[in-house]
Amino acid sequence: MIRWFTAGESHGQGLMVIVEGVPAYLYLDEEYIAHHLGRRQRGYGRGGRQQIERDHAHIQTGVRHGYTLGSPIGMLIENRDWVNWQEAMAVEYVENPSQEGRNQRVTRIRPGHADLPGAMKYGFHDVRNSLERASARETAARVAAGAVAMKLLEEFGIKLHSHVLSIGRVKANPPDQGAIDWDAVEESPVHCADSDVADQMMAEVDAAREAGDTVGGVVEVIAEGVPIGLGSHVHWDRKIDAKISQALMSINAVKAVSIGEGWDLLDRWGSEFQDVIEPVTDPDRPWQRKTNRAGGTEGGMTSGTPLVARFVIKPIATLHNPLPSVDLDTGEPVQAHFERSDVCQAPPAGVIGEAMMALVLADAFMEKFGGDSIPETKRNFEGYQATVGPRLRYS
Ligand SMILES: Cc1cc2nc3c(=O)[nH]c(=O)nc-3n(C[C@H](O)[C@H](O)[C@H](O)COP(=O)(O)O)c2cc1C
Ligand SMILES: C=C(O[C@@H]1CC(C(=O)O)=C[C@@H](OP(=O)(O)O)[C@H]1O)C(=O)O
C-alpha cells in the first residue's frame, strides 16, 4: 500500500510531503523529481508566481546513498515567494478590513474559489485562511509524491504521459495513442503534440488574458505498460476506475472525469462500444484488443491496454476583470478580490494528473504484488506475469 500526505500553505514557508510504502532499493534522486516539478511549472498561461518559484523537492528522509530504505520518504519544497509574504502571513487581526492588501484581511470573496464555503465552514473572518490551503500551490507536493510513484512504476515498465486536448474553443484531434510524439508534447508550451493547434491554443490564452478573463480545457493522461488485473471488481472502493476518477477530480478546478472515451461514447451502440478481443500474436502481451475505447479498465480492474483518462478543468476563478461579489464583513456589493493569477492551468494540470494517476497505480500495484524490496516485488510481479495469457498458466 502507498500512502501519502501533503502539508503547506501557498504563501507559507513551503510544502512538505511524506510518501510511505515504497519498497527498499528503488533508486531515487532529486533531479528526477525536479524534472517533473519543472514540467508542472512551465506551460502557457501561468501568472507571475512561476517567475519566482524554482521548485525543488529536497529529500529529507527514507533515502540513503541514492536508494530508498522502505521507510517513509519525506520531502520539502521551498516557497521562494514566502519572503514577500512573511509579514502578511504573520498577521492575525487587522483593524481596518476595508484596506485590502497583503497585510490586510481578504474579505472580497471570489466566486468559484474556496473563499465563501471555507470562511463559513471554519468560521474565518479572513478568506486568506482558506484560500492559502485551497490554492493549487499544493499540487507541487503532489507532483513530488507522484514522481516517486512514477519511478517505482518505471521499474516495472509502466510509463505515464499527458497532453492537452483542448483549451477554450480550440480542440486537438485525439491522436492515435501509439502515434503521439511525447517529446513534442514535453517541449510544447501548451503540452500539445500538434504544433499548429498549439499555436491556436496559445492565441486562445492570449485572448483571455487580454480580456482580463481566464480559460479552461480538457486534458488526457495515459499510463502505458500497465499489467492486467490491478484494482478489483469485488467492492466499490477497490475499483481502479473509481480510484482514478477521485484522484483526478481532486485536482483543483477539475469538474469532470472520464475513463477512456467515456463522454464520447453516448451515441454508440453496444457493438460499436466494446473493445473486441483478438487472438494473441504478440508473445509479450497476454491479450490483444482491436480498440481501447474503455480506456484500459473493465470491471474495476486494469485490462492490460493503456490506461486513458480525460478531465475537464474549469476556467480559473480569479479574474483580472473581477466578477461582482459581496464583502464578507458587510454583505455589501463589491468586486471580487484580485491580486495576481494564472490565466489557464490546463497545461500544468496534465502533469498533476500524471502524478495522481501514478499514485493510484503505485498503490494498486503494491497491493497486488507486495514486497519490501524491489527485488522481492519483481519476483512477485514476474511470477504473476508468467501466469497470464490465453491459457492461465497456473501449475
Ligand atoms: C495548476 C493550477 C493552477 C491554478 N491557478 C489558479 C490561480 O492562479 N487562480 C485561481 O483562482 N485558481 C487557480 N487554480 C484553481 C483553484 O485552485 C481552484 O479553482 C480552487 O481551489 C477551487 O476549487 P474548485 O474549482 O475545484 O471548486 C489553479 C488550479 C491548478 C490545477
Ligand atoms: C503557486 C501556484 O499556483 C497558484 C495557484 C492559485 C490557486 O488559487 O489555486 C493561485 C495563484 O497563487 P498566487 O496568487 O500566489 O500567484 C497561483 O500562482 C503553483 O502552481 O505553484
- Tens digits of per-residue pLDDT, 284-342? 677 889 999 999 999 999 999 999 999 999 999 999 999 999 999 999 999 998 989 99
Residue 347 — very low, low, confident or very high, per pLDDT cuts 50/70/90?
A: very high
Residue of 147, 103, 99 lying closest to 128 (CA atoms): 103
Rg (CA), the chain: 22
Give the residue, out of 39, 341, 344, 351, with the most ligand 2 atoms within 8 A of its beta carbon, to mutate for a pocket test: 341
What pTM value is reported for the model? Answer: 0.96
Give the residue, out of 9, 10, 110, 318, with the most ligand 2 atoms within 8 A of its beta carbon, to mutate for a pocket test: 10
Give the residue, out of 135, 138, 143, 319, with the most ligand 2 atoms within 8 A of its beta carbon, to mutate for a pocket test: 135
pLDDT of residue 262: 84
pLDDT of residue 176: 77
Lowest mean pLDDT among 144-148, 274-278, 298-302: 274-278
pLDDT of residue 395: 45
Determine the distance separating the centroid of ligand 1 and the alpha carbon of 148, expressed in angstroms: 24
- Cα(80)–Cα(67) distance, integer angstroms: 28
pLDDT of residue 350: 98
pLDDT of residue 93: 52
> What is the percentage of the chain residues whose pLDDT exceeds 90?
82
Ligand 1 site, residue 113, Cβ cutoff 6 A: yes
Q: Judge whether residue 390 has pLDDT over 90.
A: no
ipTM over 0.85: yes
Determine the distance separating the centroid of ligand 1 and the alpha carbon of 311, expressed in angstroms: 14
pLDDT of residue 378: 98
18: enclosing H helix or E strand:
strand 14-20
Give the residue, out of 9, 246, 342, with the most ligand 1 atoms within 8 A of its beta carbon, to mutate for a pocket test: 342
pLDDT of residue 98: 45
Q: Are 137 and 15 spatial neighbours (Cβ–Cβ below 8 Å)?
A: yes
Is the CATH number 3.60.150.10 carried by domain 3-385?
Answer: yes
- Cα(373)–Cα(391) distance, integer angstroms: 30
| Domain ranges across the chain | 3-385
Determine the distance separating the centroid of ligand 2 and the alpha carbon of 115, expressed in angstroms: 14
How far are the Cα atoms of 77, 219, 220, 294, 311 from residue 258, in angstroms, in the given order? 31, 10, 9, 10, 6
Residue of 291, 158, 287 lying closest to 222 (CA atoms): 158
353: enclosing H helix or E strand:
helix 346-369
Determine the distance separating the centroid of ligand 1 and the alpha carbon of 209, expressed in angstroms: 16
Determine the distance separating the centroid of ligand 1 and the alpha carbon of 254, expressed in angstroms: 9
Q: Judge whether residue 226 has pLDDT over 60.
A: yes
SS3 category, 336: coil
pLDDT of residue 95: 53
Residue 327 burial (10 A CB sphere; 0-12, 13-18, 19+): middle
**Site residues for ligand 2, CB cut-off 6 Å:** 10, 47, 49, 53, 135-137, 140, 252, 339-342
pLDDT of residue 357: 98
DSSP string covering 179-244: G--HHHHHHSTTS-S-HHHHHHHHHHHHHHHHTT----EEEEEEEESPPTT-B-SSSGGG-HHHHH
CB within 8 Å of 134: residues ≥ 6 apart: 113, 114, 118, 252
Residue of 145, 124, 127 lying closest to 135 (CA atoms): 127
Q: Are 23 and 363 spatial neighbours (Cβ–Cβ below 8 Å)?
A: no
| Per-residue pLDDT reduced to its tens digit, 210-223 | 999 999 999 999 99
Q: What is the mean pLDDT of the chain?
A: 93
- Cα(126)–Cα(203) distance, integer angstroms: 37
Determine the distance separating the centroid of ligand 2 and the alpha carbon of 342, expressed in angstroms: 7
Q: What b/e string do you get for 260-299 counting C-beta neighbours within 10 Å, with b at 16 or more?
A: bbbeeeeeeeeeeeebeeeeeeeeeebbebeebbbbbbbe
Q: Judge whether residue 389 has pLDDT over 90.
A: no
User: What type of residue sits at position 352?
Assistant: I
- 327 beta partners: 108
Q: Judge whether residue 174 has pLDDT over 90.
A: no
Ligand 1 site, residue 309, Cβ cutoff 6 A: no
- Of the bound ligands, which one is closest to the alpha carbon of residue 112? 1
